[in-house]
Each structure stands twice: as structure tokens, then as C-alpha cells.
Structure 1
Amino acid sequence: MTEVVAPQDTAQHGLKAHSDGDWANRAPVQTRSDRPKSTNVSDFEVVTGREATWKFTPVAKLDALLNGELDGGRIPVTVTEAAGVTSEWIARDDARIGRAGIPEERGAAAAWSAFGEAHLVTIASDERTTTVITRDALDAAPRAGHTVIEAAPNSRGLVIIENSGAAQLSENVEIVLQEGAHLTLVSVQQWDDEAIHLASHYATVGRDASLTHIVVSLGGGIVRLNPSIHLDHEGANGEALGAYFADAGQHLEHQVYMDHDAPHTRSRVTYKGALQGEGAHTVWIGDVLIRRSATGTDSYEQNRNLVLSEGTRADSIPNLEIETGDIEGAGHASATGRFDDEHIFYLQSRGISEEEARKLVVRGFLLEVIAQIGDEATEERLQAAVEAELADSVRVAVKGA
């Protein structure tokens, strides 16, 4: 009689699918570069709020943008005229779309799946020009948008995106810098109190090109703006700057990704925020990835938060991944705190009232970023907006002291 021997199970002990899903194929993402990417919303599961990229976000208020049907028609915009700058609408299958990056999460993928045409702005001037893109005529209907901003080789430009009024907008913004281009891109959020804005910005920076990306978030019920800057060519430089002021019940979130993928690249990340009022919530997550190919990298990121009253919450998480030891330097820092009593005392000793001293401290704290915009009219308007925010918060703080 021939003995039948059962085959041995050589699989790793315990590596089996569980009843709660295909566990074996759902290993946690270990590095930022391993996150799944797709332009198709169906490739991403429904957001629960437990995901790493969503755990600080009030996802229950975002159902229409994450799971609903979005209007993908043209977003009403106005663009100022400038020498060497063109503005046009292009079809979603145009080859100029998708060069800077694609979504890593459901919100951005939903917007990408829904938009019909993209707004393309091209900067081709070798002298610095200023272009303002104004979006103040939206309504509260859920919308999807797509914008492409391209800087031609050796061009110079400043592009300011002004957002105000009512909105329920989910969008993707692509920023493409060709070789030797220098571009400053500013996104200003001064939405109405009930507005919701989800935005993913993707940038690719060419050889010896330089991008300064500035975010100023002051208005809106929920603002979640996440820039991803890819330094894909040797000598590329990326600076990501942000200033934000959260009031009671307001949620302002910024997740910044700096991807070094070429030799001798440089990056600096500085985000500064202030919070006041019950339920004011800010989130900053900074990811810096220095790949094996990015020898000679010089990188630093920091986030500072100034708490002006009780009942606020500031989440600040810097992350740094280094895959090569041959770098110039890399570091990160994060701090959240209240007014420095020594600063206030010093100013009061010079005859300045406590209320005015507090204003001066906050003003200097935030305007360090705003002053980098490079457009006097915009800087003055945002300084005035910060002053308006401070008028109530500082008065309340002084009375309660």
C-alpha cells in the first residue's frame, strides 16, 4: 500500500487572511513614497477618519466632497493680464495634465475624477511678472476643480490665487517649473465662515529651478490644503511657507511633503500659526523624504504655533526620512506655546500697553511669512486681515488675564 503524505504548510505562521479583510495584502505603508496613487476615486476606500492622512480631519462634514457627485464644470475665475502670461481652459485628456503628481487620497481623487476641463496658466516672461487668479463667485454647491500653472524655462513670475466668498470646493493644483524657472505661488484662503475647501497642490521643480510656495489661511470653516513639492532634478530648490490664524470652531489643516529625488537639492519649510477661541483647531504635518538619489541634499522644516486662548488644539507632526548618508544637512523642529511673558514685559517696560504688546508679538510672528509674498498690495491687505483677527482676541485675552 502506498502511503499518502499530506503536503507541509510552508507559509509563515499566522500570516492568514482574517475575517475583517484581506490582511495579508494590507500591510501598513512604511514610507511616504509607498503611498498608493490614483486619479480614480474608486481606487480609494471610503474615508472613516481612522486613516493616517485623515485622523485629524472632521471627515463627517466632508461627505459631499468625499462621496457625493461633484460639479466638474468650469470654476468661475478672473485672471489679471500680464506680459508673457497666458490663461486658457484645456480638456482633461490634455498631455499637460498629470505631470506634477497625482492623488494619494480619496478627496483629491474624487476631484480628479469629476473635473471636465483644467484651467492652465503659463508664465513665459524672463522678467518677473505678477498674476492674480481671483475666485470669489462660487456658491455652496459641491464642486471639483483642476488648475495647472506652468513656468517656462528661465521664466520669472509671481502667481497669487485669491479665494473668498462661499464655497464647497475640492481641487487639484499642478505646478510645473521648467529648467531655470523661478516662481512664487501664493494661495490665500479668506473664505466665508461656512466654506469648505480641500486642495492638493503638486509641484515638480526642474533643474536649477526654484519654487517658493506660500499658503495663507485666514478664513473658512474647514480648509485642508496639502502641498507636495517634488525636487526631481539636480539643483532644484523648494521653499514652503505658511501662515494661518484659526478662530473658534475653525479647522485649518496643512500637510506638507518635500520629496528630494535628485542630487544637490535644497528645501526649507516654515509654517506659523495662531489659534484663538473655543474649538479652534490647526493641523500641520510635515513630511521630508530624502531618497538614495538625493546626495548633497540640504533640508530643514519647522512649525510654530502660538496659542492665544483656552479651548484650542494644535497638532504638529514633523517627519523626516533619509535614505542616503551623503547629505549636506537635514533637520526639523516643532513648537506650540503661549505668549512669551518676557517679551510682553519688555515691551511694557518701554511704555507699550499690554494689549498693544500682545498685538505686536502676534503681528511679528505671522507677518514674517506674509512679508515673503513680494506683492505690496497683497501683503498690506493680509496684514490688515491679521490686525482684524487680533482686535478681538487680544482684547479678550487682556480682560481675562
Structure 2
Amino acid sequence: MTTLQTEQHGAKAHTDGDWANRAPVQTRSDRLKSAEIADFPAVTGREVNWKYTPVAEIASLIDGTLEAATSALEISEAAGVQVDSVQMDSELVGRGGLPEDRAAANAWGQVGTAQRITLTSAERQTVIVKRSALTTNPTAAHTIIEAAPQSDTVVILENTGTANLTETVEIIVGEGANLKVVSVQEWNDDAIHVASHNAVVARDGNLQHIVVSLGGKIVRVNPSIHLDGQGANGEAYGAYFADAGQHLEHQVYIDHNAPNTRSRVAYKGALQGEGAHAVWIGDVLIRRVAAGTDSYEENRNLTLTEGTRADSIPNLEIETGDIAGAGHASTTGRFDEEHIFYLQSRGISEDEARKLVVRGFLFDVIQRIGNEQIEERLQAAIDAELQQSVLA
């Protein structure tokens, strides 16, 4: 007697590898985290966190040999600020979170030492961290910013000049501390910058993270904020202006991992010129333990000319029904013609009206920096961008 063996159509293993053990990651928190580059598979550009990135142009940062760049930082003096270097095998390294992609792990394994900035002042201090002494050689860096309990500090990271850099910035916010970290990218036109900002916020701590990306050929800054203490607050804001051929990417992750936590995410960008590309991915995870969470994320893009592309992907994952609120929004489009008409009715030309709308659109984020000198400089840089644009 012959027995007919049947199987479900489409259930056979494919020829592309270990199909049975390659189920996709079901939740953002399950993404691989490791300081070992060998733990990450080779990047093909099809992965969920690389699919919008020009990976061929940053291959040397993902897999290549890297120079260390910790000495390239210039850090201003302020009360309650201590700066030192620590070895990467120290227990002080990794408290902000381990790498979540191959480029970050490559930097982690080759940088050797981390630059550690400790903040202890209870009275608000401002620390300026400048970096402008890099080269076009593939480079690794690692910076730790640690805010002691009850401290209050603004740290501004200014990136200028040329670069071919992959780095991790760890941010540790102690109980009841207030910390604002501002990362400004005003690189030269040929610069490449890939950065992971990993943050943990303790009980009743407050982190405001601001990214402003204007210069550079390829800039990819990914903040990952973990609200691990009850009552922790995390805010992530961003402003960017992409020109022809420029790739500006920001992947934001907010992890609500304690009760009564709060988060706000707002990124705004303008694009002009053929091939200008902006990518924003916003992941918010509200875990089962995070009862009482209040969260909202949004991304807004203004396309000023033809030939631009803006990818905007908000993701919201909720594991508990006991929340105060959660939502997300994403828009990409041209000018609001009613705004333009209103300004024209006040005697302002159409071109100038369009420029005013862009300035106001981005300045909503830039004014959060709280440093008048830097805000004025960034506004001047945006004005210079607009001078080159045909906004009719």
C-alpha cells in the first residue's frame, strides 16, 4: 500500500539559508544587541534598519579597519564637569546600551578608549563639545555623557569639518537629573557620519535630546532612549535640511520600560534639489510594565523642489492597555498655500513668503536648544540654504 505524503504549499525551506530559524524580529526590543561585530550578519542593505541607507558608500565604516578619534574632542570648562578617558573593557562602558547594528559594533571594538564626561552641578551648566580635527580616514569614536542624580546640564556636541566617522554616544541620566544633549551636524559637503546615541533615564530623570543635521554627504544619527525609571521623561527633537545628493537619516527609538513615563518626539525637515533624501523612522515601545505612559511622536517634511524623497515611518507598539495616551503622525508635502497667501496679502513677495515659512517651520525645533549664539548661527545656515533654492 502506498501512502501519499502531503505538505502545505509554500511551507518548504527556501534555498537562501536557515529558513526555519530566521523568523523576523517581532518587537523592537528583540533586536540584536552586542559589542561583538561577529555577532551581526553582513549588511546587505535589505535589513529593516539599513534598507534606506546607501550602505555601499559607508562600507568601510561597517566592516573596515578604523582609527581612534577620542582625542579630537575639545570640551569647554564648567562647574561640576569632569573629563577622563576609560578603557572599553571598563564596567563604566555599556551602561547606556550595547550596539544594535554592525557599524556601531565595529566602532566599539576598535576605538580602544572612551571619552567620559561626568556632570554633577545642581545649578544649570552649559558644556560645549567641539569636534573638527578629523580626516577622511575611516574613524571610530566613543563618548559617555553621565549626569549625576539631581544635576542640571546642557551638553552641545558641535561637529564641523571633514569626517568619515562611526561612533557611539552613551547618555546616562541619574535620578531626578535634568540633561539636554544637542548634537549639531555642520560637516563639510563630503563628510560621512554614522552615530548611535544610546540613553538610559532613571527615576524622575529628564532627558531632552535634540539633533540638527545640516551639513555632510551622508549623516545617520540614531537616538535610542530607554525610560527605565518610574516617572522618567524623554523628549527627542530634530531639524534637518537636505540638499541635492545629500542623505540625512534619523532612526529614533523610545522604550517605555517603567510606570508613568512620558515621551515626545518631533522631527522636522526640509528638502530641496535633485536626489535630496531624508529618512525618519520612529519606534515607540510601551512595555507591559509601563502603566500610565504618555507618548506621542511626529515627523513633518517640507519638499521645496522636485526630485526630492522623504521616507517617514512611525511605529507604535503597545503591550498594555493602561496608558494615559499614545499616538503618532507623519506628513510630507509642499507649502500650505493659505500661509503663502496670507503673507502676500501683507505685502511680502511670494519667494520671501516661502522662505519665511521654512524658517519658522525649522526654528520651532532649533529654538529648543536654548543657546542664542548657536541658534543664530544655525538660522543663518538655513538662510544660506534658502538663498540657493528656487522656491517658486
* Residue of 349, 359, 380 corresponding to 1:353: 349
2:327 matched to which residue of 1? 331
1:333-355 C-alpha deviation (Å, 9 max, x unpaired) = 00001011111111000011112
| Structure 2 residue 357 is matched with structure 1 residue 397 | no
Between the two proteins, the alignment pairs up a number of residues equal to 388
1:147-162 alignment, distance < 5 Å: 147-162=143-158
In 1: Cα distance, 2:15 partner to 2:379 partner: 56
In 2: Cα distance, 1:240 partner to 1:141 partner: 31
* Residue of 111, 116, 119 corresponding to 1:115: 111
1:1-80 alignment, distance < 5 Å: 17-80=13-76
1:54 aligned partner, one-letter code? W
* Residue of 331, 334, 342 corresponding to 2:338: 342
Which structure has the larger Rg over C-alpha atoms?
Answer: 1
1:74 aligned partner, one-letter code? T
2:247 matched to which residue of 1? 251
1:295 matched to which residue of 2? 291
1:312 matched to which residue of 2? 308
Deviation at 1:320?
0.1
Deviation at 1:19?
3.1
In 1: Cα distance, 2:125 partner to 2:220 partner: 28
- 3-state SS of paired residue (1:310): coil
Moved more, 87-96 or 225-234: 87-96
* Residue of 222, 238, 247 corresponding to 1:242: 238
In 2: Cα distance, 1:328 partner to 1:178 partner: 24
2:198 matched to which residue of 1? 202
In 2: Cα distance, 1:319 partner to 1:118 partner: 32
| Structure 2 residue 384 is matched with structure 1 residue 388 | yes
1:136-147 alignment, distance < 5 Å: 136-147=132-143
Unpaired segments of 5 or more residues in structure 2?
none
1:192 matched to which residue of 2? 188
% identical equivalent positions: 67
Deviation at 1:365?
0.1
In 1: Cα distance, 2:8 partner to 2:143 partner: 48
Deviation at 1:17?
4.9
2:99 matched to which residue of 1? 103
Contact 1:75-1:145 at 8 Å conserved across structures = no
1:211 matched to which residue of 2? 207
- 3-state SS of paired residue (1:328): strand
Deviation at 1:224?
0.4
Distance verdict in 2 for CA 1:244–1:73, change over 3 Å: closer
In 2: Cα distance, 1:12 partner to 1:61 partner: 42
Deviation at 1:115?
1.0
Unpaired segments of 5 or more residues in structure 1?
1-8
In 2: Cα distance, 1:105 partner to 1:201 partner: 12
1:69-119 C-alpha deviation (Å, 9 max, x unpaired) = 111353411001101111111111121110011111111111111111001
* Residue of 131, 135, 160 corresponding to 1:135: 131
- 3-state SS of paired residue (1:371): helix
2:180 aligned partner, one-letter code? T
* Residue of 199, 207, 220 corresponding to 2:216: 220
In 1: Cα distance, 2:8 partner to 2:65 partner: 44
1:201 aligned partner, one-letter code? H
1:272-283 alignment, distance < 5 Å: 272-283=268-279
1:354-377 C-alpha deviation (Å, 9 max, x unpaired) = 121111100000000000011111
| Structure 2 residue 188 is matched with structure 1 residue 183 | no
CA RMSD, 1 decimal: 1.5
1:143 aligned partner, one-letter code? T
In 1: Cα distance, 2:274 partner to 2:204 partner: 46
Deviation at 1:216?
0.1
Contact 1:15-1:24 at 8 Å conserved across structures = no
Deviation at 1:16?
6.1
- 3-state SS of paired residue (1:369): helix
1:6 matched to which residue of 2? none
Deviation at 1:322?
0.1
2:353 aligned partner, one-letter code? A
2:267 matched to which residue of 1? 271
1:324 aligned partner, one-letter code? T
Contact 2:354-2:391 at 8 Å conserved across structures = no
